[in-house]
C-alpha cells in the first residue's frame, strides 16, 4: 500500500484504564472501562473512539459515492454503534451497526448509496469478514 497518511497514537497506563495520546497532540485522553463492563466509566474507551472514527470515515465514503453518482445528500449523517461482547471462547469480539440518514432521498436510493459506501469505506474494508457490520438507512 502506498500510504497517503499515517496516524500514530500511544497508549500508556492501564490499557483500558490508562491514557492515549496521538503524536500530533490532537487527541490526548484518559481512558476508563465503561460501567457496563464493570469499570468506573466517565472517560473515553476504545469502542467510543472506534465508533467516532468509523462514523466519520463512512460519512466521507458516502459523500464520495454521492458525488460520483451526482446525488444530493442534503443534511445527511452517519451514526455508529460499536458493541463489544464475548466470543464464546474466552475472548471478545466487536459488532457494528451503522445508521445512515439521508432525509432528501427515497429510502431505496439512500440504501443503494449506503451499500456502495460500504464497499469503498476503508473501515468497512478493514472489518469485512472479521466483525459483523450492519448498514441501515433510517428515516429521521
Instruction: Say if residues 62 and 113 touch (Cβ distance below 8 Å).
Output: yes
Whole-number pLDDT of residue 139? 87
- Whether the model clears a pTM of 0.85, i.e. scores above it, the answer is yes
In 7-76, at which residue ranges do the beta strands (DSSP E only) sit?
Answer: 9-14, 17-22, 28-30
Q: Which domains does the chain have, with CATH numbers?
A: 1-44 (2.20.25.10), 46-137 (3.30.300.20)
Q: Which residues of the chain carry a pLDDT beneath 70?
A: none
Amino acid at each position: 500500500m502506498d500510504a497517503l497518511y499515517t496516524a500514530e497514537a500511544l497508549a500508556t497506563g492501564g490499557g483500558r484504564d490508562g491514557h492515549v495520546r496521538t503524536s500530533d497532540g490532537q487527541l490526548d485522553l484518559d481512558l476508563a472501562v465503561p460501567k457496563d463492563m464493570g469499570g468506573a466509566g466517565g472517560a473515553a474507551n476504545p469502542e467510543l473512539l472506534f465508533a467516532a472514527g468509523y462514523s466519520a470515515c463512512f460519512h466521507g465514503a458516502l459523500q464520495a459515492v454521492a458525488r460520483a453518482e451526482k446525488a444530493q445528500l442534503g443534511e445527511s449523517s452517519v451514526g455508529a454503534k460499536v458493541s463489544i461482547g464475548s466470543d464464546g471462547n474466552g475472548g471478545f469480539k466487536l459488532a457494528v451497526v451503522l445508521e445512515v440518514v439521508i432525509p432528501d432521498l427515497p429510502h431505496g436510493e439512500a440504501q443503494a448509496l449506503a451499500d456502495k459506501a460500504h464497499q469503498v469505506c476503508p473501515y468497512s474494508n478493514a472489518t469485512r469478514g472479521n466483525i459483523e457490520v450492519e448498514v441501515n438507512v433510517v428515516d429521521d
